[in-house]
A and B are shown apart, each in its own frame.
Chain A
């Protein structure tokens, strides 16, 4: 391994002419190893899905060709046969200076596996472009490549250059545009080295932690929340060998990039190249499918737009961004809005309204149909009076008259929706049944084995669809065919985020407000009013306590609050003591606290209640406290199993007297006596507390002094007892 790597290093660091002799190569992953495009991808690979009526992979290949790449290795795994067949029959197989070679695998489950396989084939001889087959771009590679090579000459450890792009400025649109998770990156502004990468935002954490050495090593680091990862990487050969070395690397970003940044493997470095005016984006989910389709129609991706890519004069661009194939049959009364695409051989009936949509080839659309923001692929039949909003409709689907697709609906191949049937929002409908076994860990997004079997099943299905017809008729209305996939719990929240439909405004506002709440929590982090009323942690930064401590204390603070709330509820609703005990116990388990903490927290709640109940004098306060203690002594007692826990209560009380409930300070000995009388505190506990306090500072002994008499009395009583015993 080591020898191989050395060889690679030596070769790449040779003079530029040597480098120039290698043709520029690219690895195109024709499998995204995710399940986000299901159910469609059960039947057709993602890279072949039409994007404004042209398979996605064509955009990627066309860009690679224009960017000067000479040799492309297309890695296919799921539905590999379809991809290979497509490429063989397409124009790409016969380009003079652009060779497309397919590499087939049946058992790869991740990008990592793919790169390991490619490494074994030993086909990559120099720097290469790593891209997935669902990327649309029109950037020029020249500059990025040059930067990469220059860096390599200076530093052989600079093995990868990632292309990033400024995202939209508003914090909301950053997330909503491509439906991707928010991304945090730290980049050295001078060297452009990538120092930190976090894409799966850990929502629980309101902060980013940067390693201190990172900050010490780089006098200036820019943290970005406003960049978008284009998933176009210029890599050196080492990247492949690194994947082989680290056989556990699966995901390009989550494992490889993070691994390199965090584990500091052999000092390898990743750099970024920012593009400004050109376009680059990856279709990661239905939302980005929608966004990028619109960008293509609006020609941001020029020259990779339908009329140019098709080459022929078959598609004409008209005003308002209307793309129309030459032989569309259009009713005179049909109303076509702006930014639409209509493919060859499509017929559109009377009074049909279409806007912001893509309609594929040979579709038949009836009268009085409304289509807004939808993607209708080929050979789709839409009967009269249907309404479609923000839906994706795959090949061969039939919508019977009057069917309605609510926003976010995905209809996979050959689904039939019955008459007047309303498909609820965000439904995914397929002829294939939902794989019963959902990936338990969706985060990993491996394509599971079902993607392979799905292909088989679809073949079978194509053969005999008829038997299924009757069975599933009910699910999609009369005459409907297909299964509505269930949304898994937990995934439901994400549905709107990744959907083809625009994010509903209430969700957007909620997103904004949620963020606010997060902030509130965060502000509290820095400024917690603890239950004992003292102002905490503003000075924590100067570090008397370290963070672990802080965390556990924060836990305790919120635990105490919960206990207090429970207690108050018990008081106001006359909950039985047993039930209250149960509830507090449940809290204790969920916060992972000891029963010591429960005792303290309950006692604190009781005393706080006493202080907060109306009282005019100390004696009234004492009576309040006595009442409460009497009523709830059983609750308190059930958490005081031994002396230590009782001492904890005394300490808690002392703390309260000093801080939050100073009114009790005068009553300290009386309350102590009360607790003794009620047998909540044993005399042992009180005496041990007194002994412990004996050695403390003067200031700490205030309360000890006040209760001196009582303790004296206790001691005497004890001695008497002992004498009696004798």
Chain B
């Protein structure tokens, strides 16, 4: 498979560039309007396997080409470019819109909101095209939402592979990950000043 990079593939292993898929929090990946729930997880794989569909791909519902894919990361990442492989017969996506660091977007939000960046796509069945991002805007990305409004005329939209190129930092965006619930207050947690031996009030 030929790379359209300006180097020969033997010197440089392309797959390591496209390794951001390792930083995706796969359990929290979700898609709206997918025909088979959970099929979205199959599109995030290694570069070498991008053409290896083995039957699993992300497909939208019949008669409705729109797709909304929510991709959270395990740490903040910087995204340099995105590669996307669609299906044949007009099922490839024709447009892509990205939203950064917003979760819970649904179709009405996506249609009304201004995207961080939009791309017009071409049919890219070999996966050799990549779409570059405005890197300054994609510096600390905890989650990215891709909205596919339309395809090339097919009944459904099919996506075989989504690749992300960039760097991963080790920073995390959300501080609170563990919440402990208390059914009843624990008196030892709420010692009054009298119990702790009294104290003098301070005026500072």
Q: Do A and B come from one complex?
A: no
